[in-house]
A = this chain, B = another copy of it.
Amino acid sequence: MGLTKSAQFTDAQNELSALAKAIGHPARIAIIEYLLSVDTCICGDIVEVLPLAQATVSQHLKELKNAGLIKGNIEGTAICYCIDEKGFERTKSFFDYVMVSLQNKRNECC
């Protein structure tokens, strides 16, 4: 089997899990952190910083872009990537919701 039953879950559940999944790799965390540390960036910069081959980095960038966490502009022969705030805001609002729910509950269960 091994096929996630996406159709059985809500759109919100699928969208949020897709965002979290995209963040769920150390190389992609490193890319996000790097993008936050520089004003602008091209793919080549990141390849030099990461301990991975160019093809692999390109793949990780694609996944972050598909998830809506980064966006890119063509800039001559290079591509300038940067953080896409909207994706992060959606993910952050989930954690805010979780935190608020927890405080409204004061769970004595465990």
Interface residues of A (CB under 8 A from B): 4-6, 8-10, 13-14, 16-18, 20-30, 32-33, 36, 39-41, 51-52, 71-73, 80-85, 88-89, 91-92, 95-96, 98-99, 101-102, 105, 107, 109-110
**A26–B39 contact, CB under 8 A?**
no
Known contacts A91-B95, A110-B80; A29 and B16 CB within 8 A of each other: yes
CB of A51 within 8 A of CB of B5, answer: yes
Query: Chain A interface mostly helix, strand, loop or mixed?
Result: helix
User: Are the CB atoms of A110 and B82 closer together than 8 Å?
Assistant: yes
B51 to A25, Cβ gap below 8 A?
no
B92:A39 contact, CB within 8 angstroms? no
